[in-house]
Amino acid sequence: MTIPVQVTFKGMDASPALEARIREKAARLERFADRIMRCHVTVEAPHRHQRQGRLYRARIEVVVPRGDIVVTRESPRDHAHEDAYVAVRDAFDAATRQLEDHVRKLDGRVKHHEPPQRLGRVARFVAGEPYGFIETAVGQEVYFHRNSVVDGSFDQLKVGDEVRIVVADGEKGPQASTVYRVGKHHPLQ
């Protein structure tokens, strides 16, 4: 099957050689997903910068069943993108990786990694409140709420108890999204 490819040039003259290269790269995408419905590639040459040449942008939209892949390659610091062919190559490389990931998800071949856990000790509780703070092995203080404690064992925790935590970024700093008790009845796993 041949993928319907639409190529658009913005801020620059159309280049038959570049368009041929784009069509060649788009045809190679079929190796990674056999049901691509269409591919739209836009190559743009934005305004000139004072100290450097034109930095090209390449945008690729690949329409596939149950999702679309969209890649934009623009790098104001990457002087390699002063060449439109390099910008297109980088965009197709990224589109290929995303397409492979999409196909793996559809096939159920995605690895699920557990978030990294850290060791810590309960540092303090706030009197009359359903939360407290844990100090990690590196001295970082992490907020935790009673709802983040596994097995509903918030009321059994004491200052100094060892815990394993999964840390996420909260609005006011690091917070434990999950807290596991560690001890005789709750060993490290």
pLDDT computed for residue 75 by the predictor: 57
When pLDDT is cut at 50, 70 and 90, the band that residue 22 belongs to is very high
Domains located in the chain, CATH noted = 5-107 (3.30.160.100), 118-181 (2.40.50.140)
Q: What single letter denotes the amino acid at residue 18?
A: L
What is the overall mean pLDDT for the chain? 83
Percent of the chain with pLDDT over 70: 84
Q: In angstroms, rounded to a whole number, what is the distance separating the alpha carbons of residues 189 and 49?
A: 56
**Cα angle for residues 169, 173, 179 (degrees, 5° grid):** 65
Which residue has better confidence, 3 or 189? 3
Q: What are phi and psi of 49, to 5 degrees?
A: -95, 155
- Ranges 36-50, 118-132, 154-168: which has the least confidence: 36-50
When pLDDT is cut at 50, 70 and 90, the band that residue 112 belongs to is low
Q: In angstroms, rounded to a whole number, what is the distance separating the alpha carbons of residues 112 and 20?
A: 39
Helices 84-107/16-28 angle, 10° precision: 20
**Does the structure show a pLDDT above 60 at 84?**
yes
**Does the structure show a pLDDT above 90 at 78?**
no
Closest to 85 measured CA to CA, from 154, 24, 151: 24
When pLDDT is cut at 50, 70 and 90, the band that residue 152 belongs to is confident
**Cα angle for residues 44, 25, 80 (degrees, 5° grid):** 50
- Helix or strand run (H / E) with residue 25: helix 16-28
pLDDT computed for residue 189 by the predictor: 44
pTM: 0.54
**Does the structure show a pLDDT above 60 at 14?**
yes
Residue 113 CB-half CA count within 13 A: 3
